[in-house]
Structure 1
């Protein structure tokens, strides 16, 4: 049952972004590949995390965990995997595709991470599954929207600035997101919920914007 609960929010996110791709659906093979790239990225992220822990043992330092070993490692590796997946692929033929594949890669990673957390003998359980379904999994999807949005702009409207923003924006958002949660102090709940609201507002706005400028729109 916990495995199904771990998958449920991921499937909801994948279905939502697939439906929003209104004018030129991505082929199932590419979408599956995006999901698999996210799963493969999990293995790389885990290996790099272990290496960093051996070199720089941080003993649960919230700042280091949030800005380096979680957001830093995860967003850089997801960015590299996403670039390899779509940048020179012919299916990347409209700006919104950046968001679609960004979400699929991010939720592929979130899927495996979620299974690990909810089935953990100490930290896992139904409470963990619920909290992660509300916060962590959607969070990864929202970071994927930010990454894909700027990649879409970079691909079709040019400019190195957007390529840089495609990494920097989700990284900063992810790092702050984790830091506010890891501090476990009521003082950080206000900025956390402000960031949460901004992420949702920004993601919905970005999706709407790129849907409206689709070259396949009639």
Structure 2
């Protein structure tokens, strides 16, 4: 499998899965492409933010503090803020954003645009040996953070509680992303020292991603069930 195929295939599979959850009014491909393109652009914005936010850690920093800064301040914060910024810029006023699940779907496509760029760069740097683990963990993580972000993005649009839900969209996505990265960064130095730590790291990471899947599927179910098109065809609402 080529590097490009290994980078793109998990993204395509996840796109198909989340698109298939859109039961009542399918989103137009051009708007989904716009969201995905926003995600690609957000990857470059995230680099700019991460560089501007970086600072040298004191030599006396504990392993936990260093892992926290790496996982939250240097990764989760700039990446999720960048994805949110492009989601808001490209989708908030789009006429096709007209029901609850749309927010999730567009946020997932933004997140997968980001993940596609990141996945390609990681595989180019580290080789195909990490392709499977990224396909099972890192790429889905971005999509699941997109579900969380999109869930509250829709609530901000359709419930009238804009500011509080937009804050939740960003902050909860940062939290989910940061916890995932923290597990990896905190345990990574000890993995080579003990097979038990390696096993613990694997169990925790897969367990956390599994938990995010459970939470995300519940949020998807909630928004699909609240669709304005559940009992009315789109043309009946015009």
Q: Same fold (TM over 0.5)?
A: yes
Structure (1 or 2) with the larger CA radius of gyration: 2
Q: Which residue of 2 aligns with 1:214?
A: 227
Cα displacement (A) at 1:47: 1.9
Q: Which residue of 2 aligns with 1:86?
A: 91
Q: Which residue of 1 aligns with 2:102?
A: 97
**Superposition CA RMSD, Å:** 1.7
Cα displacement (A) at 1:157: 1.3
Cα displacement (A) at 1:155: 1.0
SS at match of 1:214: coil
Aligned length: 213
Cα distance in 2 for partners of 1:66, 1:25 equals 36
Q: Which residue of 1 aligns with 2:131?
A: 129
Cα distance in 2 for partners of 1:15, 1:42 equals 22
Do the aligned partners of 1:98 and 1:152 also contact (CA within 8 Å) in 2?
A: yes
Do the aligned partners of 1:118 and 1:125 also contact (CA within 8 Å) in 2?
A: yes
Cα displacement (A) at 1:33: 0.5
Q: Deviations over 1:7-37 (max 9, x none)?
A: 1100011111111111111111110011100
Cα distance in 2 for partners of 1:205, 1:157 equals 19
Cα displacement (A) at 1:48: 2.1
**Distance of aligned partners of 1:87 and 1:168 in 2 relative to their CA distance in 1, 3 Å threshold:** same
More displaced 10-residue stretch of structure 1: 136-145 or 190-199: 190-199
Cα distance in 2 for partners of 1:200, 1:3 equals 26
Q: Which residue of 1 aligns with 2:36?
A: 35
SS at match of 2:105: helix
Do the aligned partners of 2:137 and 2:206 also contact (CA within 8 Å) in 1?
A: no
Q: Which residue of 2 aligns with 1:183?
A: 186
Q: TM-score, normalised by structure 2?
A: 0.84
Cα distance in 2 for partners of 1:190, 1:37 equals 33
Q: Which residue of 2 aligns with 1:171?
A: 174
Cα distance in 2 for partners of 1:104, 1:40 equals 12
SS at match of 2:86: helix
